[in-house]
Amino acid sequence: MREAIADSPEEWPVTAARTSFRGKVWDILTEDVVMPDGVAAARDFQRHPGAVGVLALDQQRRVLLVRQYRHPVRQRLWELPAGLLDVPGENPLHAAQRELYEEAHAKAGDWRVLIDFYSSPGGSSEALRVFLAQDLAEADGERFQAEHEELDLQVDRVDLDELVRLVFAGELHNGALVSSVMAAKVALDGGVFGGAGLGGLRPSDAPWPARPFE
């Protein structure tokens, strides 16, 4: 019988570890990992705190997007509201709600887990959880005082089907946005949950082994 198709925890022996670079947000580690042939090989990777994103969907099936400059790729990208899990032990749902408020001055009444994924597991420990948020409304109180790249943030709402078309046309490149748009489209229209639609998604407090939380 074939094994279940699911990722599973595993850890190969490490004979030495050192911090090759220490940054403001994340570090670069070098670890000597024992391979199946018994030989240790150095592996560099980014130690990342993890992140959350929000695919906020309104009643017209429009997705709330933000557009901002990303210096490493020298492009202004359309993205989901998102942010780092840089507060130790923070509940990822609370972090996502904060990001939706700070970047789009919005709130949502219904939250579910859309997808969990690793952004680049060959070179980074970054784990991301993207929530699907519905029942959108303008946030209460004053707008968040942005700084740095977020001072130039642009906010818009785009039809989900149009986003799918733009992904296939090669016009959108942010990994979390691409993955989440496709997942939302399948969840809504693909019958993957036996007709349950978005009701088949996991609850907002579903376990997340990659980033355990209280």
147 noted as active-site residue:
no
Going by DSSP bridges, is the β-strand pair 82-84/27-34 parallel, antiparallel, or unpaired?
Answer: unpaired
- Look up residue 124 and give its DSSP letter: B
Residue at 203: amino acid letter: P
User: From edge to edge, which strands make up the β-sheet containing 14-22?
Assistant: 14-22, 27-34, 40-47
Residue 19 Cα to chain centre, angstroms: 25
Q: Nearest Cα to 125, choosing from 183, 179, 51?
A: 51
Residues 189, 133, 65, 208, Cα dihedral to 10° = -90
Burial class, 95, CB count within 10 angstroms (exposed 0-12 / middle 13-18 / buried 19+): buried
> Active site residue: 150, 162, 171, 214, which one?
150
Residue 83 to residues 36, 89, 97, 196, 210, Cα–Cα distance (Å): 37, 15, 10, 30, 16
Residues serving a catalytic function are 150
